[in-house]
Amino acid sequence: MIVRVALLLLLWAACAPAPPETAEVRWELSCAHDSVAVGDAFTARLRASWPDSLGPLHLAWGVDPDSLLLVARDSSRVRAASGWEARRYDVTWIAPRAGMGRLPPAALVTATGETTATTRACTLSVGARLPQGRSADLRPLAPPLALQRFPWGWVAGAGLALAAGFAAALIWFRRRRRARRVPLPPPVPPEVEFAAALEGLLARQLRATGQMRAFAQELSWIVRRYLGRRWEQPALEATRPEILRWLPHTPLCVRDQGRIAAWLETTDRIKFAGEVPPATEAEGLLAEARAIVARCEEIVARRAAAEAAAADDERKAAPGGGA
């Protein structure tokens, strides 16, 4: 009989599960929900168990004091299997402000500071609380407006009056704007503008006072202005090579183009090389400028006469056009 009992004990010891080598940590909040109010105390309960071979373990829990305030803590030993140590930790906190509170992971550490196991983090929704003695006013901000009493007729009449006034003001503004419009005078012909500008230049008496260089510069500007307007090309701000590039595209013959090129070269030499022309040369530049303008106007007149004659011949050649 004794031998049978000894064999049964040995068999039970061989089949019994060996204790795990790592501690198992569990926790749960004592509150039924995952939300609390500001100032309410709530308890977080942790249960830990570990083999005796690990020695005494301690709870390490670093919670931010700005998010949660520690109120109380309690640690008690609970029953455990043979060769095991088990404890229960109850920690009470208070949330000082509304928002989201967070309980960071708690850890079991050895006496040497080595962490054996940790829990998961937990978040709490912390709601605001009304001051004591004050209740929420759930009444509407303003009494409801009865639709049958709303002055729809007056509102519609005011809207029509505003629309009519806006339309009348718009019509009056448009009429006034049209009345202020003044037709622009036709542009002055290039030859007329050249004659007026030349007359103004001679009235300044630059040659009589010995200002030959200023006279040549002003005369060059007047001729360039005329050439640009007459042939519809950039000439006033263009350089002499640029003017010579578009001169062949005008009705001017090669001789006339060379004449203009020589005149521009003389005035550019006075303007940029610093030459001061004598009075006789200034007279020659003036006469040549008048001759260039007269030649251009002669060509323009001939082209206009030829176009008029061609148009007249075309009109007569048309059926029923001749007398």
What CATH number labels 21-127? Answer: 2.60.40.10
What is the distance between the terminal CA atoms of the chain, rounded to a whole angstrom? 160
Average pLDDT for runs of 10 along the chain of length 323: 55 46 51 68 77 75 71 80 79 74 75 74 70 56 58 82 89 79 78 93 86 88 93 88 91 92 89 75 89 93 90 82 55
Closest Cα to residue 243, out of 303, 300, 292, 193?
Answer: 292
Note the pLDDT of residue 216. 87
Q: Note the pLDDT of residue 297.
A: 94
Q: How much is the pLDDT for 181?
A: 65
Predicted pLDDT at 1: 59
Query: What is the per-residue pLDDT for 141?
Result: 56
> What's the confidence (pLDDT) of residue 136?
53
What is the full DSSP assignment across 162-173?
HHHHHHHHHHHH
DSSP state letter for 93:
E
Length of the chain as a residue count:
323
